[in-house]
Amino acid sequence: MSINGHYDVLVIGGGPAGMMAAGTAAARGLRVLLIEKNDVLGRKLSMTGGGRCNITNAEYDVRALLHHYGEAEQFLFAPFAQFSVADTVTFFENEGMALKVEDRKRAFPKSESAQDVTDTMIRFLRKQGVEVLLSTAVEGFVTEQARITGVVTEKGVIRANAYILACGGRSHAHTGSTGEGLSWLEELGHTTHDSNPNLVPLLVEEVWVRKLSGTTLSNVSIQFAQGTQRVKKNGNILITHFGLSGPLILNVAHEVKQLLVHGAVTATIDLFPEEDIGSLRTRFQELYEAHPNKTVENLLKEWFSKKVIEMVLYPFPVEVRRTKGHALLRDVRHQLIERMKHITCTISGTMGYDWAIVSDGGVDLRDIDTRTMQSTVHQNLYLVGDVLHINRPSGGYSLQLCWTTGWVAGNSV
Ligand SMILES: Cc1cc2nc3c(=O)[nH]c(=O)nc-3n(C[C@H](O)[C@H](O)[C@H](O)COP(=O)(O)OP(=O)(O)OC[C@H]3O[C@@H](n4cnc5c(N)ncnc54)[C@H](O)[C@@H]3O)c2cc1C
């Protein structure tokens, strides 16, 4: 498309926050240009939720929902009073996309397709008459006194009355989120917090972990320890070829990173967090008495999958797995039970930006009027989505933040 004249609103970044902001502003009759550096819109959005897109969290109680946004909770009452989870669901239903809710209130499109969500947003932009300029990177802002008067691109300076910055954070940079927006905001006089990978898998030093790639450990506990500091969580853990992942790990990564500042962290997994050693010993005895001819390996099949058995038996000599349960020496039996309660590995780091669902850091919320998402430093600048400094867990909270802040900016600009 050719750039034609002066716009009311210029949106930088065609992710979920930018598309929601652009469409909402255009729906009010404003002339809106959306600039995206990729040759497609919503590249990251199309890969969310493992390709299924966890589009929001169906927690309709605003107070309960906002509790998940940590220190940002108070700032978010104003935007969520204008565009809530219920509004998100209605928005997508009106755009022809039905949603369904799964465990932990995670909402997905019924089609289970993240690409459908992107396509729905693109149809919304077309319907509202948003002009879209693809394959064009914004290189910076032009300012005069306290106003932004244009953005620099390879196609020249493009001007508008107001600007919405929606260029994301730093996670999965290959999708286009390379973080330059944060440097511009610093130059403009905004306070920003250092960016860090967050909701990120953890790297494990020991090689045995790799052999178990694809295994899920259900209803376990994991304790992370560094010096005298401890962090303990219960839930499901996914073992991958490099370490540990899954919602429990992603959500605790923030705390583990703080422990990692002081050195490697020891993780101890308890496969039976609800049961003490005494009760487990009794259960194991009942098991081998009930199956006197079964080897240890076969007995453990009553409790675990093949890969978890490998993990449990890893430090033991091979004879142990072939021994019949009742013939095991008492000490070895006790070591086996002890192992189920204390499987240790060393966490040497996180998987970094390329694997992080989000990066924390971003512009300080005190620099924003969250009733409008307007910058308090530059009156004609609005900030939305991942450029904001807001920590949150996995479960649809990130995209909800994009829908809400995008809508509020689009409706206020
Ligand atoms: C693998 C993965 C899975 C995820 N799954 C979920 C999930 O299921 N549910 C959930 O809630 N969240 C999920 N997230 C997080 C969610 O995707 C992000 O929070 C969300 O995409 C942020 O949206 P945004 O619009 O702020 O930024 P982005 O989606 O990062 O979009 C920013 C856009 O701006 C463009 N841009 C950047 N710089 C420039 C520039 N200089 N000029 C022009 N354009 C520019 C980029 O190319 C990009 O398209 C996931 C993230 C990842 C990486």
**Percent of residues, the chain, with pLDDT higher than 70:** 99
Residue 4's pLDDT is what?
66
Testing ligand 1's pocket by substitution, the residue of 44, 68, 386 carrying the most ligand atoms inside 8 A of its CB is: 44
**Euclidean distance between CA atoms 169 and 179, whole angstroms:** 5
**Euclidean distance between CA atoms 267 and 392, whole angstroms:** 23
- Nearest to 231, CA basis, from 265, 191, 206: 265
**Distance from the CA of 223 to the center of ligand 1, in angstroms?**
31
For the chain, what is the mean pLDDT? Answer: 95
CA-angle at 257, arms to 169 and 267, nearest 5°: 135
Closest residue by Cα to atom 45, ligand 1, is: 13
Residue 55's pLDDT is what?
98
List all residues 6 or more positions away from 9 whose beta carbon is below 8 Å from its beta carbon.
22, 25, 26, 30, 31, 32, 33, 160, 161, 162, 163, 164, 410, 413
**Distance from the CA of 289 to the center of ligand 1, in angstroms?**
56
Strand partners, 75: none
List all residues 6 or more positions away from 98 whose beta carbon is below 8 Å from its beta carbon.
92, 109, 110
- Nearest to 85, CA basis, from 113, 122, 115, 55: 55
User: Residue 194 above 90 pLDDT?
Assistant: no
Residue 145's pLDDT is what?
83
Testing ligand 1's pocket by substitution, the residue of 45, 398, 403 carrying the most ligand atoms inside 8 A of its CB is: 398
**Distance from the CA of 35 to the center of ligand 1, in angstroms?**
14
Look up residue 18 and give its amino acid.
G
**Distance from the CA of 177 to the center of ligand 1, in angstroms?**
6
> Looking at 110-159, which runs of residues are DSSP E strands?
131-133, 138-144, 147-153, 156-158
Place of tokens 């990692």: 260
Look up residue 219 and give its amino acid.
N
Rounded to the nearest 5 percent, the helix, strand and coil shares of the chain are 40, 25, 35
| HEC secondary structure over 314-337 | CCCCHHHHHCEHHHCCHHHHHHHH
**Distance from the CA of 196 to the center of ligand 1, in angstroms?**
15
CA distances (Å), 206 to each of 196, 241, 291, 346, in order? 25, 11, 34, 7
CB within 6 Å of ligand 1 — which residues?
12-18, 35-38, 43-45, 47-49, 53-54, 137-138, 166-168, 171-172, 176-178, 180, 357-358, 385-386, 396-399, 402
DSSP three-state, residue 272: coil
**Euclidean distance between CA atoms 108 and 86, whole angstroms:** 14
List all residues 6 or more positions away from 76 whose beta carbon is below 8 Å from its beta carbon.
66, 69, 370, 390, 401, 404
The better pLDDT of the pair 189, 194 is held by: 189
Q: What is the DSSP string of 28-67?
A: TT--EEEE-SSSSS-TTGGGGGGGT---EE----HHHHHG
Residue 10 CB: number of other CB atoms within 10 A? 27
Closest residue by Cα to atom 46, ligand 1, is: 176
User: Residue 89 above 80 pLDDT?
Assistant: yes
The string of pLDDT tens digits covering residues 365-379 is: 999 999 999 999 999
Residue 357's pLDDT is what?
86
Residue 360's pLDDT is what?
81
User: Residue 18 above 90 pLDDT?
Assistant: yes
- Nearest to 77, CA basis, from 90, 55, 62: 62
Q: Is the pTM of this model over 0.85?
A: yes
